[in-house]
Amino acid sequence: MLILGIESSCDETGAAIIKDGRYLLSNVVASQAEIHDRYGGVVPEVASRQQLTTIIPVLEMALDQAGCGWDNIDAVAATYGPGLAGSLLVGLTVGKAIAMAYNLPFLGVNHLEAHIYANWLRETTEIDANASDDSDWEYQEGDPIYPLLCLVISGAHSELVLMRGHGQYELLGRTRDDAAGEAFDKVARILGLNYPGGPAIQKAAQHAQEELEQQGKSLTQALNAYRLPRSWLRGTYDFSFSGLKTAMLHLAEGAVGEQNAQHAHSTENTGKQVSQYTRMGVLAEQRGGTNIELLAASFQEAVVDVLAVKTRLASQEYHVKQVVLAGGVAANINLRTRLERELRPLHIRLQYPPIEFCTDNAAMIASAAFFHLLRGEQHGLDLDVEPGLSLPFSKK
Ligand code: KG4
Ligand code: ZN
C-alpha cells in the first residue's frame, strides 16, 4: 500500500511516499529554520504563510522522487495536530483536497504518534523478501517489540509513554514546565547560539569536549565544568527543565560579563557571578572567551542525565524489551550514547530513527497512518485541525 504523507505542523513542510508503513520511496522536507533564526524562534504568521508557498512544490517533488503518479497512491495522510493552527491548516486542507479529487481514503495523523512511528521506517525501498501479500503487516522483522517504552522529546513535548501494542498509549510521566527541545531552544537563545537550539548546542558542546580532550582533560570534566541543577522529581516519571534554564540565564550573564571584563583587562566585577556556580572555574578561565561552549556542554549533560536515568528506571519498572526515542531531541548524539550505556547492561534494546526521521518529516506521518488504515480506520473530510492534540492515552 502506497501512502502519501503530508506534514505542516510547524516550520517544516514535508511530503513523503511510503510503502506498507515502513519502506521509503521519497521524503522531501523544506525547512524554514533560516527564516526563523532571525527572530530566535518560530513566528507563527510567517510559518503559515511560508507553508502556503512551499506545499505544492514539495508535493510535486515527493511524487517525482518516488517515480509515481497520483494513480499509484492508495491513501492520503496529513497531520491534524498538535502544532500551530495556521501551519496545520495548510497541510490538512491540501491532503483532504487530494483525497477528494482522487477519491482516496483519508487519515488525519497525530504528530506525536507519528514521531514514535518514525521507528518503523527503513531507509530503503527494499521490502523483506519473505514478505508476501498475506504476510503479517502488524509485525515485520526489524519493527520495535512490545511492550515498548517511548521517550517522546520534541520542541513542545517531553513524555515517557508505555506502548503495549499499536495505538495503545499509557502516560508514565510528562514535563511539568518546558519541553526538552524548548529548553534547548531557549538556552541557545540565552547563549547567543542559532535556532534551532538543539543542533547548535550539540555542536558547541562537541567543540568544547574536543578541545578539552586535546588538553588531556577527561570528558567528565568537560561535561561538568559548571555545576547545574537537575530536577529529579523522585517517585515520578515527570520532568522539569525550567530551573535549569534559569541557572543557565544567571551563568550566561556572568560569562558574557566575563568576556567583556577580559576585554577591559579586568575580571573584578563579573568573576564572582560565574564562580558562584563554577566547580572548575579555572578550567573555564583558561579557555578565555569560549565559556559559552563549556556552558553548552554542561547544559546538554544536565538534560541528558535526567532523561537517561528516568528512562532507564521506567524501563526496569515496566519490564520492557525495548526503548524507542521519538522527536527532534532524539537526534542528540550524547543522549543516544548515554542511553545505550544505561540500557545495554540490562539487555534492553535501544532504537532511534535516523536523524532525518527524528525532526519533523512526512515519512513518519505516512507510517503512523498505515497502522490506522490496517485497522480499518479513516477520517471524514470534515476533520479539523487540533492544535492542542495529545496522544490518545488510556487509563493506567
Ligand atoms: O520534533 P521536532 O522536529 O518538532 C516538534 O515537533 O516540536 O523537534 C524540534 C526540537 C527543537 O526544539 C530542536 O532544538 C530539537 O528538537 N533538536 C535537538 C537536536 N536536533 C533537534 N535537540 C537536541 N539535540 C539535537 N541534536
Ligand atoms: Zn515534531
Give me the percent of the chain exceeding a pLDDT of 90. Answer: 75
pLDDT at 274: 37
Q: In what order do the strands lie in the sheet with 12-19?
A: 23-31, 12-19, 2-7, 75-81, 106-110
Q: What's the 359 CA to ligand 2 centre distance in angstroms?
A: 6
If you take atom 16 of ligand 1, which residue's CA is the nearest one? 328
For the whole model, what pTM was predicted?
Answer: 0.91
DSSP H helical segments within the chain, as ranges? 33-37, 44-66, 85-101, 111-117, 180-191, 197-214, 219-223, 242-263, 271-275, 281-286, 291-317, 333-343, 355-358, 363-374
Q: List all residues 6 or more positions away from 191 whose beta carbon is below 8 Å from its beta carbon.
A: 201, 204, 248, 252, 292, 295, 296
Average pLDDT over residues 302-313: 98
- Residue 393 Cα to ligand 2 midpoint, Å, equals 18
Average pLDDT of the chain, as a whole number: 89
How close is the Cα of 141 to the center of ligand 1, in Å?
A: 28
Q: Which residues line ligand 1 (CB under 6 A)?
A: 10, 115, 154-156, 181, 184-185, 196-199, 202, 327-329, 331-332, 359-360
Residue type at 150 in one-letter notation? C
CA distance 39 to 34: 10
User: Which amino acid belongs to residue 224?
Assistant: N
Compute, in angstroms, the gap from residue 70 CA to the centroid of ligand 1: 32
Looking at 16-20, 140-144, 251-255, 305-309, which range is the least confident one? 251-255
The tens digit of pLDDT for each residue in 75-93 reads 999 999 999 999 999 999 9
Which set of grid coordinates corresponds to residue 36?
Answer: 526563523
Find the mean pLDDT for residues 242-262: 76
Helix (H, G, I), strand (E, B) or coil at 215: coil
